[in-house]
Amino acid sequence: MIEINNLTKYFGDLCAVDHVDLHVKNEVFGLLGPNGAGKSTIVRILATLQRPTEGTARICGHDVVKDPKKVRSVISYVPQEMALDIKLTGRENVLLYAKLYGIPDRARKVDEVLDLMELSERSGDLVKTYSGGMRRRLELAQALVHEPEVLFLDEPTLGLDVAARKKIWRHISSLREDGISIFMTTHYMEEADEYCDTVAIIDHGKIVALDTPERLKSSLKQDVITINATGNFGGLDLDCVTFSRGDNGELRFLADHGESVLPEISQALLRQGMTIQSMMVRKPTFDDVFMDRVTTSEEDSAFDGYKFRTMLRRR
Amino acid sequence: MSLIRSMWYYFERDLIKWTRWKMTVFAHLVTPAAWLIFVGLTLPVTFTDNYLEYLTPGIMVMSVLFASLQSGSLVIFDKILGFLNKFFAMPSPRESYLFGKILFITFRGLVQATVIFGVAVLFGITVYGVKSILLTYIVLFIFGALFASIATTIALVVDDHDGYAAINAMISMPLFFTSTALMPYDKMPGWLRTVASVNPVSHAIDSARVLLSGGDIPVSEILVLAAGATIVLAICTSVFRRATL
């Protein structure tokens, strides 16, 4: 469905996307990464909103640079910001898209997608009165009105409460069953773990992991040891324990048998004059896969203006 | 064909949004009428016995001018709020968005001008037949399209709402006061006369004034305005194409 070869995008000197290769089948594909890792840039290139500096991307066989019109006729793109006309009704918002797409028999089609997204009852109300979850579903209804083959979702559940997020995911999963390929970005590890067929982790514009969530998790066989301690950490010289990262007084280690090395680690830390508040051993989660592969710290990534504006608009 | 159709749908979107907010519509229509009444009925001018009749074309053009220049913010909001990203990921021609916007901005200016004209008729200005009014509207339409194109071009380049508002204020007032809206050329100081004679706002006002007072069609003035509108629209389209890729 989507073939990305050697895709690269520079903004001035900054390399936002660095020679990325991806092949996406008919599936729910999740692109994960920290802020500023290049997720949205890839989606924007695929949605023909930006041109790559180098490399190619094809969607259903159409090249995004040479054949953008054909690409646009088979895709739908839902950006992070909820761009809905709040002074129009839900139905009018969808109707605009049906008209622009040139849908025949559009009244019926609009009713159908509104019904699919469980918005029929409120379709005559101004969008101003809609909750965040309803607005996102309305955007999905807009996106579905021309029956796309590929749906691009940029952070579809950002800023929604748990119930609304669950509902969005239920809809996304059922769209996948209807044969629509879904390419999405997300911050939420547990969502990617639960709902995506394939996950790619991107960091500094490069793909650092690509597999099913299960296999990515099983690649981390070791236990994760988390220790909250104060004092200066001077390194640890123990076999079969590797230091993973430390910040805000929290140290993380990886070890094959967490429980059995715990006493040795604690003794070593105490010898260094550290005070230990708590220790914990657990099996790796998808978060750990992410932390393990990603090196961008939050301070490095640029301020996210989009998110800021989204916050402002919600007030 | 799909360009025209999509343009109409974008126009329709803005129109519904505008009319749904009754208070906004009211405010947009009252402001220019207030200009006409407060300036037209109060200024102690000596060059004419019917200043209101003299002023009406000027205020009609002014309302189109201000309406056009302010409306560039519609483009800025569509851009910052993410609408453009959604629209431009659709197969309909991207230019249809731009032309729909320019059409709406021009249309809204014409509605305001109509209110002015209505108020002026109530106050008893002389009306010289349907033909003169129709031709005046053609002049206003060309003029509106010219400034709607300027406004959208600025909006595409500036990209920031406060910056846009500042630029709008900076150009709209001088354009109005250096035109023939308030006084004829022969009552102006020399320097102002020079500026006014090259100001496109004066050209529109002079044409509208000749037409509304039953004079001959000012062909050359209209052609100059039309040529200007065409050139600016072409520049605007090319800026738009560059800004959206």
pLDDT tens for residues B120-161?
Answer: 998 888 888 889 999 999 999 999 999 999 999 999 998 788
- Check residue B38 and give its pLDDT: 86
pLDDT digits over A291-302, tens only? 777 775 554 445
Residues A51, A197 within the same domain: yes
DSSP per-residue string spanning B18-49: HHH-HHHHHHHHHHHHHHHHHHHTT---SS-S
Contact B86 A79 (CB under 8 A): yes
Share of chain A above pLDDT 90, in %: 49
C-beta of residue A201 within 8 angstroms of C-beta of residue A37 = no
CA of B204: how far to CAs of B145, B209, B210, B225, in Å?
A: 12, 8, 10, 7
Residues A263, A164 within the same domain: no
Question: Measured between alpha carbons, how far is B90 from A143 in angstroms, rounded to an integer?
Answer: 10
Please give the distance of CA A45 from its chain centroid, rounded to a whole number.
16
Neighbours of A105 (CB within 10 A): 9
Longest dimension (CA), chain B: 60
* A210 token code pair: 């690509």
Neighbours of A252 (CB within 10 A): 17
> The domain spanning residue A56 has which CATH number?
3.40.50.300
Contact A77 B86 (CB under 8 A): yes
Q: Which of B2, B13, B21 sits opposite A102 (nearest CB)?
A: B2
C-beta of residue A167 within 8 angstroms of C-beta of residue A135 = no
Residues A235, A193 within the same domain: no
Residues A183, A43 within the same domain: yes
pLDDT digits over A218-246, tens only? 777 778 888 888 888 877 777 778 787 77
Please give the distance of CA A54 from its chain centroid, rounded to a whole number.
24
Q: Which of B9, B16, B87 sits opposite A99 (nearest CB)?
A: B9
Contact partners, residue B232, CB within 8 Å, separation at least 6 = B146, B149, B150, B153
B166 has a pLDDT exceeding 60:
yes
Share of chain A above pLDDT 70, in %: 93
Contact A76 B89 (CB under 8 A): yes
**A187-201, A230-244, B228-242 — most confident range:** B228-242
- Contact map slice: B 66-95 vs A, CB within 8 A: 80-83, 85-92
* Closest to A150 (Cα-Cα) out of A33, A22, A245, A58: A58
Question: Measured between alpha carbons, how far is A213 from B232 in angstroms, rounded to an integer?
Answer: 54
Chain A partners within 8 Å of B87 (Cβ)? 100
Q: Is A312 inside a domain boundary? A: no
Residues A208, A76 within the same domain: yes
C-beta of residue B132 within 8 angstroms of C-beta of residue B211 = yes
Q: Which domain holds residue A276?
A: 222-283
Contact A72 B91 (CB under 8 A): yes
The band of B245, judged by pLDDT with boundaries at 50, 70 and 90, is low
- Check residue A233 and give its pLDDT: 80
Contact B82 A100 (CB under 8 A): no
pLDDT digits over B185-198, tens only? 988 998 999 999 89
Which residue did the predictor score with more confidence, A289 or B126? B126
Residue ending a domain, among A168, A187, A213, is A213
Residues A181, A276 within the same domain: no
Residues A166, A272 within the same domain: no
**What is the distance in angstroms between the Cα of A210 and the nearest Cα belonging to chain B?**
27
Residues A16, A143 within the same domain: yes
- Stretch A200-214: mean pLDDT: 89
- Stretch A30-54: mean pLDDT: 90
Complex-level ipTM: 0.88
The band of A311, judged by pLDDT with boundaries at 50, 70 and 90, is very low
Contact B89 A49 (CB under 8 A): yes
Q: Is A300 inside a domain boundary? A: no
The band of A315, judged by pLDDT with boundaries at 50, 70 and 90, is very low
Contact partners, residue A312, CB within 8 Å, separation at least 6 = none
**What is the distance in angstroms between the Cα of A304 and the nearest Cα belonging to chain B?**
13
A64 has a pLDDT exceeding 60:
yes
A313 has a pLDDT exceeding 70:
no
Question: Measured between alpha carbons, how far is B197 from B190 in angstroms, rounded to an integer?
Answer: 11
Q: Is A7 inside a domain boundary? A: yes
- Stretch A102-122: mean pLDDT: 94
Chain B partners within 8 Å of A74 (Cβ)? none
Contact A102 B92 (CB under 8 A): yes
Q: Is A144 inside a domain boundary? A: yes
- Stretch A161-184: mean pLDDT: 91
Identify the closest residue of chain A to B92 by CA–CA distance. A100
